[in-house]
Structure 1
């Protein structure tokens, strides 16, 4: 018996075709949205982790360590930055040979970082630093050189190099974080870096400001500079070059006319320091806080181009109660109670606001810091009571424990020899004796692999 053949009508076929087309369109739309969502998530994750391939930024530190003791102390800032970071880091280290050797030994212990780390050493002699300081100032109408900056601070020319980080680092480095050697991070450095979003188009730098920290009994030597602290700086290096903030004998006439360092009664240096003068009338005297005095002068002269840094990023022991915050109990304190109990914040941008400790700065303590008796032998000391647990933990934390990566991140260490300051690079020639053949721009670096060193170590 032959079964009847079922033949659907054209109307039914049309309906089925229409339904199929609709279903395909819906699936395509959903897949498109899903792929778009995945792309958005990848972009967001990459930015959160500082992945440059996903459009994020690499956090840049510019640090100064001159002398072995300075390097031993300053290594704490590097270690805590690497420990806390959620993305790649770049360290630019101005050093002498003892500091370079010590830091290189520590960094050689890191072979599998969680995120990529680039380190550039800039060995700089005391003579080179001194000669750059001598190139500041100006020539008066009688052809006399006046105003070369100097200091009576024990930090000497090394400490003054904070004023020239925009000249030492390559021109393509636009921004950087600076911290003193006696400072350490207890948060992700990307939180510190996020403060750059508060900058305007012409901001030079951000600095902690303590308007309530004036000390009249030393005013003759400090001239009010205790009201800022150049211990933590967020530097817009591009704007500092464009200004420029520091003058040089090697600049052309146009750039010298733009420089923020000017003669008396014509700009920052004369107005803030010139009235104190010196016996020879050619240099400033009593700049007792070194570079900090000159940063204070800039704050006075161009306040609209200097931002007050959130004091969460400089919890200082110069104020012995440290805003009355710390890791000394009361973990369940409320925001209202903490704000009410905070101290020493009058006349600061943080008055009435919660301090979220991020960078601890152990200044005004004198002598050695991280394994000092204050932290290890006297637990009742104010700083030890508040932060001793954190200091002891990170001081003892081993560098090899920073090898938490899967092998995909890189560790690169480079040394730039025969360094010339930006003013010399602009002039196109080395003027300081003993600088060698040097290099006139970052693009002309020469690379030589050093023997008997890890494969990631290079010298330029």
Structure 2
């Protein structure tokens, strides 16, 4: 979360997770000062959570993020998320090795169910799978290399496996014969070709990458399908598909056959005929606003998206942090902040320097 607006959205996401959770929670938030301050003010209102909550802020300066991208060698993005958006490719390097799994979720989303169900999905993944996210094989966009066939908006990440695979490259890793070569470069070259000069900057870049980090994730999972698994559309009811599979609030007595008849964009889902049972809503692709809940379409009486989902948006945005308190609970919420976080490739370089220095032994 980089900016107060991203934190304003992310706070609603966090609130929804806490509202419905049946388990203790750990939040790892990669952020800047503005986002940190916004979130801390709201989290401080929660004195008596239902379950223990640990919140860890990772404060990474823009310069450090740029430097990590440059050490990879050829990453660039024309997406509005910019440099911070590319950090989604380095979560396994930012979080410490003690964190072996994580769920990443874009800030413009919120749960309407218990996230514990999603966490349990880790145990159902096939051996060797490191990444699970929704896939849309029927989508078609040659100019994007079909990167819209996945959504990196929500990802189950086996961080330990991604570290083992050495997902992303770095100038610190090159020449290291003791570990496997980084996974990403051959995947990127297979989809985009070899890097080419980026104008007069002197840097190299991959050509034709669209949708920011999602374009790179698409190259990775296309090249190494054995580490990828589809995630049910239940967890990605997305307004990028403005009809959102044509599900929504209303008709509370609808049966399965009625829902199945209404559904669209689901014929290629891994579950095929199974109906979508919404568990997380994602309000992306709403143009013209920094915060999805301020979108002008919500106030249009005939807007179909507003008709089906506006009550859910209003409820989760307006639910007060104070109402999350459970006075009889002995659970606690704790927060800590890590400043100037080092990436794993930096720590690797430092460890090699130390091992080569006789005075360190």
- Do both share a fold (TM > 0.5)? yes
Corresponding position of 1:373: 296
Aligned with 1:87: secondary structure?
coil
Give the stretch that moved more between structures: 268-277 or 190-199.
268-277
Query: Could you say which residue in structure 1 is the equivalent of 2:47?
Result: 111
Is 1:185–1:359's contact at 8 Å kept on the other side of the alignment? yes
Q: CA offset at residue 425 of structure 1?
A: 1.5
Q: Is the 8 A contact 1:117 1:410 kept in 2?
A: yes
Q: Does 2:61 align with 1:125?
A: yes
Aligned to 1:101: 37
Of 272-281 and 186-195, more deviation after overlay is shown by 272-281
CA offset digits 1:33-52 (Å, max 9, x no partner): xxxxxxxxxxxxxxxxxxxx
2:137 match: 211
State the superposition RMSD in angstroms: 1.9
Contact 2:165 2:180 in 1 (8 A): no
- Does 1:224 pair with 2:146? yes
Matched position secondary structure for 1:206 = strand
1:150 is the counterpart of 2:76: yes
* 1:89 maps onto 2:25 in alignment: yes
User: For each residue in 1:282-318, what CA deviation from the matched residue of structure 2 results, as whole angstroms up to 9, or x when unmatched?
Assistant: 3213322110001000111001110111111000111
Q: Per-residue deviation at 1:272?
A: 0.6
The answer to whether the Cα contact below 8 Å between 1:152 and 1:288 also exists between their aligned partners in 2 is yes
Alignment of 1:416-435 (within 5 A): 416-428=338-350
Q: Deviations over 1:98-138 (max 9, x none)?
A: 1111111111111100111000000111111111011114x
1:80 corresponding residue in structure 2 = 16
For residue 428 of structure 1, give the secondary structure of its aligned residue in structure 2. helix
Q: Equivalent residue for 1:198?
A: 124
Select which of 283, 291, 309 maps to 2:205.
Answer: 283
The answer to whether the 8 A contact 1:248-1:256 is kept is no
Unaligned 5+ segments in structure 2 are: 354-361
Name the CA distance, whole Å, in 2 between partners of 1:429 and 1:123: 23
Please give the TM-score of this superposition, normalised by the length of structure 2.
0.92
The match for 1:253 is 176
**Paired residue for 1:358?**
279
Secondary structure at the counterpart of residue 254 of structure 1: coil
* Equivalent in 59, 71, 74 of residue 135 of structure 1: 71
Shift of 1:278: 4.8
Question: Gaps spanning 5+ residues in structure 1: where?
Answer: 1-64, 138-147, 432-460
Is the 2:166–2:180 contact (alpha carbons within 8 Å) kept by the matching residues of 1?
no
Is structure 2 residue 194 aligned with structure 1 residue 271?
A: no
CA contact (8 A) 1:185 1:360 kept: yes
Equivalent-residue separation in structure 2 for 1:254 and 1:424 (angstroms): 17
Bigger Rg over Cα: 1
CA offset at residue 370 of structure 1? 1.6
In structure 2, the CA distance between the partners of 1:254 and 1:275, relative to structure 1 (3 Å rule), is closer
For the residue of structure 2 that corresponds to 1:74, the secondary structure is helix
380-389 vs 174-183, which moves further: 380-389
Give the alignment of 1:375-414 within 5 angstroms: 375=298, 377-414=299-336
What's the CA shift for 1:350? Answer: 3.5
Contact 2:195 2:204 survives alignment (8 Å) = no
Q: What CA deviation, in whole Å up to 9, does each residue of 1:11-64 have, x standing for no partner? A: xxxxxxxxxxxxxxxxxxxxxxxxxxxxxxxxxxxxxxxxxxxxxxxxxxxxxx
Q: Distance in 1 between matches of 2:113 and 2:195?
A: 42
Q: Name the CA distance, whole Å, in 2 between partners of 1:346 and 1:331.
A: 24
Report the Cα offset of residue 405 of structure 1: 4.6
Cα distance in 2 between the residues matched to 1:350 and 1:201: 20
CA distance in 1, matches of 2:351, 2:37: 29
- 2:113 paired residue among 183, 187, 190: 187
Cα 1:379–1:114 shift into 2, 3 Å: farther
RCO (CA 8 Å, sep 6+): is it higher in 1 or 2?
2
Of 323, 330, 349, which aligns to 2:251? Answer: 330
- Does the aligned pair in 1 maintain the 2:194–2:206 contact within 8 Å? no
How many residues end up aligned between the 2 structures? 347
Whole-Å separation in 1 of the counterparts to 2:10 and 2:105: 9
Alignment CA distance shift 1:337-1:275 (3 Å): farther
Distance 1:161 1:256 in 2: 23
Partner of 2:359: none
Give the whole-Å Cα distance in 1 for the aligned partners of 2:88 and 2:15: 21
Partners in 2 of 1:357 and 1:278 — Cα distance? Answer: 44
